[in-house]
Chains A and B, each alone.
Chain A
Amino acid sequence: MIHARGLSRSFGAVEAVRGIDLDVSQGEIVGFLGPNGAGKTTTLRMLTTLLRPTSGTATVAGRDLFADPMEVRRRIGYVPQGNTVGPFSMVGEELRLQARLYGLRRAEAAERVDRLLTELDLPGMDQRPTASLSGGQKRRVDIAMGLLHRPALLFLDEPTTGLDPQSRANLWDHVRRLRDKDGVTVFLTTHYLEEADALCDRILIIDHGRIVASGTPAELKAAHGAGTLDDVFLAVTGRELREGAAA
């Protein structure tokens, strides 16, 4: 689903992402972890066609990122870290516009939006102004934005940040269902290590723009003699930090 080689991005003199290789198979749920500023969002924005890599190559959802960005966009869903709607809009109206931009016909768009509002536990929200939603409801609207066109590959950038434990658990269930029922591949970033542990088949840890660890949660724990992913994370990012200080 994702094959990237040597993907890099610099902002002026700052190298945000330094030549990462990625391979994600169909149907995997992959957690992409790293400290703030490690390059997670930059990587996601490159893989979703929103940011041009400085160098490297990538195939996303079977299409070349550089040669065929439009076809990549058709096949992926992206839920960014921040909001996707302004405060003065109606939930249903925004979702229906988004569906139309993904090429759904008017009737299909209406039907799909109704369906997603139900699935994401947002009943009766169609005519609600976005400003009146709770944080959890707003986040689920953001997630609906990425699912309208039934993408084969879904990118979620910190989907559960700011959610209460109940909403977070619901979201995990939804992500699992997407994979189990529809075979959707999910690539997500998170700051919650127990979330990565519970939800993800495989973990990638990025630090200073480089991938510093990769494996199933069990493999990572075993490799570092650690009891939790927290310990693994500290071990790998801590070591990387010391190397940086020595250099």
Chain B
Amino acid sequence: MSALVPLTAYYLRATFKSRFAVVFGAVQPLFFLLLFGPLFARSGVGSWDTLVPGLLVQLALMSSGLVGFGIVFDQRFGVLERLRVTPAGRTSLLLGRVLKDSVVLLVQAAAIVALGYAFGLRAPLPGVLLGLLLMVFLSVGMASVSYAAALTIRQELFAPLMSTLVIPLMLLSGALLPMSLAPAWLDAVSRFTPFRYAVEALRALFAGSYASSEVLWGVLVSAVFVVAGVVIGTRLFQRENA
């Protein structure tokens, strides 16, 4: 694990060198906040306190879901092989990137929450902070899965495939409109996606009900997702090793 600190620091330096990428990763949720939020707040479906948690999960999906693209280049330029031949732990090779992604996500999420407050978000700060914590936790799983996908599927397919896949995952999570409005079949389908539980947990946290069953389920499902993601990701860094 001693490799984790230099790796994370290295990736952070590299990422924040290009601020454009950091801003661009949050562009979609920002559009929803600016151009959809005002409609939503007057729709009678819910308030900013309902929408912002959904947008944070959307952000986690969009931002962390596509991070694997970075490793495609590392693979092409031989960087990945160079890292794999060192004694650095395979989990560190994965988590160094993932922790960087978490920091980027937090910066992006903070911007969305700040804008949300400007528009009319009323959520209590402890609830928001706990919500951000859960979102970052979830994103560790999402980023790991993204890297795993990038190491598995053909390079040129990664970007189109992942950017398409995150759309149904996002819609099924109820990030934009709560699943309580859904017909029974859609509600049932959405229960098979981990992000629905995260969205509901974040909404509960933003509403200040910290000890609710939604929070419990959100934490449990996210934990399973994170463990599965990290294990699969590490395996793929390990793959083909002697």
Contacts and interface: CB of A to CB of B under 8 A. Distances in A.
Nearest to A49: B242
Contact of A101 (B78, B87, B241): B87
B156 interface: no
Interface in A54-97: 65-66, 69-74, 76, 78, 80, 82-89, 93, 97
A150 B100 CA distance: 30
Contacts of B14: 88-89
A101 B77 contact: no
Interface residues of A, number: 35
A103 interface: yes
A169 B6 CA distance: 35
A102 B82 contact: no
Interface string B80-93: 01111111100000
Contacts of A145: 82
A78 B24 CA distance: 37
Q: Interface SS of chain A: helix, strand, loop or mixed? A: loop
A89 B7 CA distance: 14
Contacts of A221: none
B81 to A, nearest CB: 6
B3 interface: yes
B3 A100 contact: yes
B74 A50 contact: no
B3 A50 contact: no
B11 to A, nearest CB: 9
A78 B85 contact: yes
Contact of A50 (B77, B87, B88, B240): B240
Which 4 residue pairs of A and B lie closest in terms of their CB atoms, listed nearest first?
Answer: A100-B6, A101-B86, A86-B77, A84-B82
16 contacts: A50-B81, A50-B85, A51-B241, A72-B242, A76-B85, A83-B77, A84-B81, A85-B78, A86-B74, A86-B77, A97-B10, A98-B86, A101-B7, A102-B86, A102-B87, A106-B6
Given A83-B77, A86-B77, A101-B83, 14 more contacts: A66-B242, A69-B242, A74-B87, A78-B85, A80-B81, A83-B78, A84-B79, A85-B77, A98-B86, A101-B3, A101-B6, A101-B86, A101-B88, A103-B2
